Structure formats: C-alpha cells, structure tokens
Amino acid sequence: MAQAMDNAGIEITDLSFSYPEYPGLPARSLLDGVDLSVSEGEIGLVLGASDEGKTTLARILGGLVPRFTGGTIGGSVRASGADVRRIPPYDLLERVGLVFQHPDEQIVGTRCDTEVAFALESLGTDRSVMEPRVRDALALFGLSGFEARNPATLSGGEKKRLLLACLGAVDPGVWVLDEAFEELDLSWRLTALDLLRKKGRTALVLDSRWAPVFEGRVDRHAVLSCGSVHGLAADPGSPVLRAAMDASGILPPSRRVATPPGITPAPYLRARGLSFAFTGTDSFSLEVEGLELQRGAVTALVGPNGSGKSTLARLLCGLYEPARGTIEVDRGGGFAPAAAADLNRLVGYLFQDPDHQIFLPTVHDELALSLRASGTRGIDAERRIGEATERFGLPPGGTPPALMSYGSRKLLQAAACWLLGRDLLILDEADSGLSYRRFLALLAELRAGGAGIMLVTHDAALARAAADRVLALDGGRIVADAGPGRFDAALAVGGLTAGGGAS
C-alpha cells in the first residue's frame, strides 16, 4: 500500500506552458491559464481533441515536463500534497502514477512480471512484499499466466492493462491516465473505473472522446481546448459542458455516415479456411472459416483484447502467412489466389502503433516515400504531398514526426497510406487518440476514391456510425457477422457493449 498522503488530490491554478522551439516546429503557447481541481477520492475527466495539450498536462503532473523537455511553465501544480514542479519524478512514484497514451514509450522490461516489479524495486520494496503485490496486480487486470510473456507480444489493449497493473502494484495516491481506456474493451474500462472508486484513489482521466462508460462513474468533467479548461461540471449533461464537447468534436456521432456518392460496394478480398498460431505458444490460435471484404464498404472488426484482431489484419495484408487456407483478391478479372507479396502491394495497413510505420525525419519525407513506391516524383510528387498535407491537417513538411502528438502521427500514417492509392485499407485502432470528428474526416478522405475499409475498433458508437457491417472476433474465431440494424448483438459479443447497450 502506498504511504498515506496529506491532501491527496489535484490542484492546478493558472497553469501556462510553452514548448521550446524545435527545428521545423516553432514554439507556441499550448496551455494558458488552466485551472482544475480534483478532490481526494474523486475521478476527474478531461476531454479534448488531439493536439490540445492533454498529454502535456499529464506529464506535467508526473513531473516529466518541463524537466526533460524544456519549455516555459507558470502557475501552480500540486498532486498528493506535492508541488510537482519542484520534486523529481523518482520521488513522486508513491504520490503520482502515470499511464502513457503510447505504452511502448513507457514499457522497459522483457517480461510482464519484471515490468510490474520495476517501480517497486526502485522504491526498495522487500522481495517478500514485492512478489505477492506483482502477482496480485497482474491478476487484477487479467494478466495471470502472462508473467513470462514479453510485453512486445501483447496486444495494444493488453499493454494498457499491463501499465495499469504497474500502477496497481505501487498504488499511488493520484492516478493520471492519459488515454488509458483507448484500446480497452468495455469490461476492462469498467474494471479500471470501479477499481479506482473502490480504492478511493484520486484519478485524472484524459481522453479524446466522450463515452457513456463515464456516465455516473466520473465526479468532474471538463474540456481542454485552446489552452484552457472549459465547461467544468459535475453533471455531464451541463449545457455549458455539452457545448464545449460539441465544439471539440468529441461527442459520439448522432447518425450513420453515408457511402460516398458514386461508389457501389463490390467484393474484393475473400479468405477461406485460414489457420494461424504463433510459434512457441499454445495459448492462441486463429481459425477463420470464411471472410469477404468489399471495395467501397466499411467493415468494423471488433472483439475483446487479445481476441486476434491484429493477427487477422496482418494475415489479410500479407505481413503474416497462414499455416493453412487461402486468400484471394479480385483484381478485375475474377478472384485469384494472392500470396503474401501480392497482398503487401494490394492492401494498405495502418499499424496500431504509428511508430512501427513512421521512421523518416520529416513529414515531407514520410509522404514522399509513399509516392516513390508508385513512381511519382518531381513536381507531381510535390503537388500530391501538398494535397495530402492539407486534406489530413498535417503540420508543415519540415516537422519531425517525433515531435508530433500521438493522434497527429495517426493522421500522418493515414495520409501516407492515402497516397499509395490501395483498394483495401485496414485501419488497426486508427481511431485511437482522435476525436470523433477528426477520425470521421480522416475516414471520409480514405473512402473518397472508393477504397474498402476494415476498421478495427473498440468503440461501439464509431462502429454504428461508420460501418456497413460488423464482424465480431473472440478467441481467434468469428462469432458474429451483422449488417445494419443487427449491430447490437455483434457489438455485445465483441465486448464493446453490455448486452447491446451503450458502451
């Protein structure tokens, strides 16, 4: 148990912050006059679109910014009775715990149990105390039996649960969760919120979208936009708060998105008898009897964490090869078998982690690489790069992707894929870190040319609004296949809703 703290709440007064100027990215004021209070034992929720400063706010609370980034900060920030601006992060471990939006920026171990033990070892915890705390924390977040697993082999949602287990083992007075619920299915979102309430811990949850799961489980709500906090209220139905959420595009869509004009869906890819298992483990296998995806249509692929969504996606784009089964593509002359190399050229894939796909020094370089693959160079390439930059709302071409927000790196991924002009695109949790409005705009750009989309998501509202069809995967098997009007049952089986209700 973490040591008791006096006044274990969060108190932010007149906070301002500007990052220093970087090459290709001029300095700008990100936070300006932020006032926010979360009392001891309360759960606060700060919503905001990408690039509004949520991650920066989280890292200020964790003592990381501006200590390791530079920048100009003003105002007062206190958490668990500590002035976080004056205390080194390693002295805040038992006071403030932080879950990063991007888990691979935080995970350092090669085993799940040693990852959970890392902070306890840093605190000098006795082994007789540490071992049961590690075991209990893993069990609390459904990771019993994962002790020896390398975190690199976990799904995105499992990595988030591992980070929550790390906080659970230390059990700080304040939990700061930066998009920690992204990529989690509904049951684990509920588990995390209910655990915080049961423990009586103070928490600040930062998210890009409002979800009904927050209803009745959050004590204070606010929207971060234009550098300040707006609409702070206990009631999520507060008119001022709802207006602020609506202005930021973070409310769920109210109606289905129509198919773009002039586009008629048509069968494009089909798979039969697919079988796949990872080498060296008997814990997971994928078996798909049949699957068809259409050009011009959106298919949502849903399922609990670890159900095999990313594995299936990587089989369909040729990154993995099935042990058995066939994948066929209709390239204009009827369906014909497609080997992995063919699928690499025909199917675009946006990785769940954008940093697995972005590796060049500037935005311009990343976009130019896609065009080189299609033989486009010179003036035509520059015109297309400018068009992609404008369509996807990217920063200037000289901006280093490493300095862009997680959500903005998702936009860069999408723009690079759009330039490839593939007939089928697989978006693996591409909505993570983006507001509803921004992601639906991204989706519209990708669909405008008639491409088919397979959308891997944990968001029921997004699936209802954007998809023509929902496939639910569980335990490596397709357990539901539903069209419009029949989504609720498929979403419930896929772990996105409770019995078909709101997620």
State pLDDT tens for residues 67-125: 999 999 999 999 999 999 999 988 999 999 999 999 999 999 999 999 999 999 999 99
What is the predicted pLDDT for the residue at 457? 95
Three-class SS of 4-21: CCCCCCEEEEEEEEECCC
- Nearest-CA neighbor of 167 among 2, 7, 9, 54? 2
- Nearest-CA neighbor of 285 among 259, 257, 307? 307
What is the predicted pLDDT for the residue at 25? 77
How far apart, in whole angstroms, are the C-alpha atoms of residue 176 and residue 167?
Answer: 10
- Which pLDDT tens digit goes with each residue over 204-235? 999 999 998 999 999 999 999 999 999 999 99
Residues of the chain below pLDDT 70: 1-7, 280-283, 498-503
Q: In the numeric block, which tokens belong to residue 459?
A: 């968001």
Query: Contact 468/259 with Cβ under 8 angstroms?
Result: yes
**Strand 298-302 versus strand 469-474 pairing type:** parallel
> Residues 42, 115, 179, 183: which is the catalytic one?
179
How far apart, in whole angstroms, are the C-alpha atoms of residue 355 and residue 357?
Answer: 5
Query: Contact 475/303 with Cβ under 8 angstroms?
Result: no
Q: In the numeric block, which tokens belong to residue 108?
A: 């350092």
Phi, psi dihedral angles at 357 (to 5 degrees): -130, -10
Q: In the numeric block, which tokens belong to residue 13?
A: 């007064």
- Concerning whether 182 is annotated as a catalytic residue, the answer is no
Which residue ranges make up each domain of the chain?
Answer: 10-248, 266-493
What is the predicted pLDDT for the residue at 280? 67
**Class level of CATH domain 10-248:** alpha beta
Identify the architecture of domain 266-493 in CATH.
3-Layer(aba) Sandwich (3.40)
Q: Where in 370-491 does DSSP place strands (E)?
A: 424-428, 452-456, 469-474, 477-482
Q: In what order do the strands lie in the sheet with 266-277?
A: 285-295, 266-277, 324-330, 335-337
In whole angstroms, how far apart are CA 5 and each of 13, 37, 181, 456?
20, 17, 26, 42
How far apart, in whole angstroms, are the C-alpha atoms of residue 308 and residue 311?
Answer: 5
Check for a shared fold between 10-248 and 266-493. yes
What is the predicted pLDDT for the residue at 27? 82
Taking the complete model, does pTM exceed 0.75, yes or no? yes
How far apart, in whole angstroms, are the C-alpha atoms of residue 100 and residue 164?
Answer: 10
pLDDT over 90 for what percent of the chain? Answer: 83
What is the predicted pLDDT for the residue at 4? 41
Strand (E) or helix (H) holding 353? none
What is the predicted pLDDT for the residue at 2? 41
What is the predicted pLDDT for the residue at 281? 55
Query: Contact 57/438 with Cβ under 8 angstroms?
Result: no
Give the three-class secondary structure for 23.
coil
